[in-house]
Structure 1
Amino acid sequence: MTARLIASACLHKTGRQVFRQSLCTQLYTNSRSSLSRFCDAAPIKVFATQLSRRSLITVACKASRRSLPQKPITNGWLSIMRRGYRTEQMANYRSQQFAKRFYAIGYLSAFVGGALVFCYIRFYERDELMGLNRPVKQPQGGFQMFTDPNMYGNEARLFRGKGYWLPEYLFTSGNVTKLEQFVCTEDDVLVASFPKSGSTWVQEVVYLLKNNLDEKKARKQNMEDRFPQLEYTIPGLAALEAEKGPRLLKTHLPYEMLPQNVQTEGKTKVIYIMRNPKDVCVSSYFYSRMHLFLNYQSDLAHYCSSFLSGRVNFGPWWDHMKSYWEHRYDPNILVITYEDMLQDPSKTIQSIASFLGKDLSTKQVARIAKYCSFDEMKKNPASNYSWWDKLGIRLPEEAEFLRSGKVGEWIEHLSNEQSAYIDKLCQMYLTPAGIEPQFEMGGKKDEKKEAKK
């Protein structure tokens, strides 16, 4: 039977595997004499006339590399096959192979463990630098803590006080109390908004107006360096206080939490941007998924429920909007809307320039409008927050910082029930204050387009 299989292997390529298995079995179980008789068998003589017995054994060994260990400890395969298979040699080989694997696994485990310890130390140092490891005293002004179960970043915990839900870093850094004593000058400009309401667009406009439309200078520094956030831990209040000259500052704080001299003296210019809450909800959802420090893991429906309850950073949004809207007639407060910026950017730029005491020609207004258009800013590395990718702040698989910029995008994402609930909240809180959000370009529309039904 074996000789017949070997003969078929010599004639057909498809029989190689059968040839290997049968020949290796014979080489393992027979001694030198039986191996000699096996090779002298009649059916294989045709094959043996072209190959010597030694070359036949070598071919068999090469063909059976996957079936047998390749290198024994003391002797080559050829000598073992001539003397026959020895159990003690294979046992010795197996024990040494086991020892090699054992030490390899040990070295690998030590390497992985060291890497994990290194990563833990690095993350701990980063959290310590940002103040995330310092405990927060619960009674601090009657603030209450809330943790969003769908957020897994370092800013998942919110603290409620003075009627607002505020991010954790305000407390770990102590800025929540230090901000009251921070002094803003009459040369400073504050750009304020609820998160994801269009503050980046206004920041770029204000920077050009305050720097004589110097576009080259604007491209040399990213937006966070040109327009630091007042309440954030980087660069921090101490660094902002030491900065000389007119300061351009961004903030998401409600009006009640601005520095005291801004509220009482009324000399610092404050520009507030409002955006319809439906688009804010959608934009905030994608931003929360994109930002590493938020790392929102659930779907839009869950986020919308948190947004509608006001349990998001600097929420509730209706109180945030009303806090500035009530001061819209103050000489140092300018309130503009995101929808007006997109519908008539030249008019909005002109109003901002007049508020800052700048006279612009028609060409200058058109120049600013072109430079600050959404498409241009999305391509501009100084304003599109692409440096977050290098810092590891933005999750690359999620949306970009400047994502859509459209008015009425909520139609594609929110359900009829969610849209109706936001309308109800607007009627309860915004309409009595005189605020009428514009949910689509061209005017307010409360119902979603019929094509989606």
Structure 2
Amino acid sequence: MAETPRPAQYVDIGGTMWPTMVTEKTLKAIRDFDVWDDDMWIAVYPKSGTHWASEICNLIKYSGNSQHGHNPSPMEFFSGNPSQHSPTLVSEYNNVSEWESPRVIATHVPVEYLPRKILDEGKGKVLSVIRNPKDTVVSEYYFLKGVKPGAPETFSQCLVENGTSEHAPYNTWFGHVLGYWGQRHHRQFLVLKYEDMKRDTRGAVIQIADFMGRPLSDEALDKIVDLVQVDSMKTRFKTAGESQEKENKKGAKNILRKGVVGDWKTHFSVAENEAFDALYRQKMAGSGLELQFE
């Protein structure tokens, strides 16, 4: 595919494109972050199940009690302007030391930007979820459309800027995913596929609970599996297209939509799909990563 211009809403820091809310200061805060041994980091490419994985971990932490002890926001990641993006970890990271362990902290950064205490000292654990890139870019399109002035006006534009451009935010999907996929055999990392989690949510919850060192009773397991279904989460989290006046709901606005596998088929043209498949084969050759697209 032809090279595309750098989207105006992103900035280049260290050779990686970041949303304008990400600054060098906050990236440094991540690298220098004081990681605890039982920290649970949710490291996921945008629109690939970050809130879902975070909710699963928080529910495991509290044995299925959805009303108890959640962090100020269900998605805590580093962004650069607390006046515009509060509550976010840039305005909270000085308070994270007061959170009850195990802390659940979510981020979109590529693996190389994780805290040094994770990468160099072996502290904490990291859960990464990989979603197929076609559904990811569809989800990204609707999310940006609902929350960001100047967002791509059409799906085709979003596909170019966020799905195939070398200047996509947080690294390309390919670079981001391959970075975490490369850590899958490391004891600190659990790498799951979004589509596998959809097919066997119960199995995924058990796997994550074991990874966290917090085995569940059958009663708690059943409750968590029910609470993390899309329809159930939509009763607690802000959903795409709904009135933002529902202040009793958690999370950033527009955060949940369909949460299905294969929605890309109603958005990609034949030509777009063929071009994307060719790019996918090129970028993923030899990776051993196989994903479900429908």
Find 2:18's aligned residue among 139, 146, 166.
Answer: 166
Higher relative contact order (CA 8 A, sep 6+): 2
Q: Which moved more, 1:207-216 or 1:332-341?
A: 207-216
1:136-215 equivalent positions in 2, closer than 5 A: 148=7, 156-162=9-15, 164-171=16-23, 174-215=25-66
Q: 2:291 matched to which residue of 1?
A: 437
Name the aligned partner's letter for residue 180 of structure 1. Answer: R
Please tell me whether the aligned partners of residues 43 and 106 of structure 2 are also in contact (alpha carbons under 8 angstroms). Answer: yes
Q: Aligned partner of 1:315: which letter?
A: N
Q: Output the TM-score relative to the length of structure 1.
A: 0.56
CA contact (8 A) 2:195 2:292 kept: yes
Q: Which amino acid aligns with 2:7?
A: D
The aligned counterpart of 1:74 is none
Structure number with larger C-alpha Rg: 1
SS at match of 2:291: coil
Give the aligned partner of residue 53 of structure 1.
Answer: none
In the aligned structure 1, how far is the partner of 2:213 from the partner of 2:243?
34
Contact 1:159–1:168 (Cα < 8 Å) also in 2? no
1:320 aligns with 2:171: no
Deviations 1:182-223 (A, max 9, x none): 1211121101100000111111110011122222326xx6x7
**Letter of the aligned partner of 2:73 in structure 1?**
D
Q: Structure 2: which amino acid aligns with 1:166?
A: W
Is the contact between residue 273 and residue 335 of structure 1 (CA under 8 Å) also seen in structure 2?
A: yes
Q: Does 1:271 align with 2:127?
A: yes
User: Please, which runs of 5 or more residues in structure 1 have no aligned partner?
Assistant: 1-145, 150-155, 393-398, 441-453
Higher normalized helix content (fraction of residues): 1
Give distance in 1, aligned partners of 2:242 and 2:58. Answer: 19
Q: CA deviation at 1:387?
A: 11
Q: Cα distance, 1:279 vs. partner? A: 0.3
Cα 1:176–1:235 change in 2 (3 A) is closer
Deviation for aligned residue 1:178: 2.9
Aligned residue in 2 for 1:254: 110
The superposition leaves residues 361-401 of structure 1 with CA deviations (integer Å, 9 ceiling, x where unpaired) of 334322211111001101224x6599992599xxxxxx943
Q: Which runs of 4+ in 1 moved over 4 A?
A: 383-388
Match of 2:222 among 330, 347, 366: 366
Change (3 A) 1:352 1:404: same
Distance 1:356 1:423, change over 3 A: same
TM-score when normalising by structure 2: 0.85
C-alpha deviation, 1:245, in angstroms: 3.5
Aligned ranges for residues 104-115 of structure 1 at < 5 Å? none
Query: Per the alignment, do residues 368 and 241 of structure 1 end up closer, same or farther by CA in structure 2, a change over 3 Å counting?
Result: closer
Instruction: Give percent identity, aligned residues only.
Output: 26
- Residues 327-406 of structure 1: matches in 2 within 5 Å? 327-381=183-237, 384=239, 389-390=244-245, 400-406=254-260
Indicate the residue corresponding to 2:85 in structure 1: none
Cα 1:167–1:227 change in 2 (3 A) is closer
Quick one: distance in 1 between partners of 2:152 and 2:174? 25
Return the letter of the residue paired with 1:429.
Answer: K
For 1:435, what is the secondary structure of its paired residue?
A: coil
Say yes or no: does 1:229 pair with 2:77: yes
Distance 2:74 2:155 in 1: 33
Letter in 1 for 2:30: L
Deviations 1:135-191 (A, max 9, x none): xxxxxxxxxxx7525xxxxxx1331534x31122222x6212332211211121101
The whole-number CA distance in structure 2 between the counterparts of 1:297 and 1:420 is 21
Alpha-carbon RMSD across the aligned residues, in angstroms, is 2.6
> What's the CA shift for 1:252?
0.1
Measured at CA, do residues 372 and 391 of structure 1 come closer, stay the same or move farther in structure 2, by a change above 3 Å?
closer
Structure 2: how far apart are the matches of 1:391 and 1:264?
43
Cα distance between partner residues in 1 of 2:18 and 2:29: 15
Unaligned runs of 5+ in 2: 83-87, 248-252
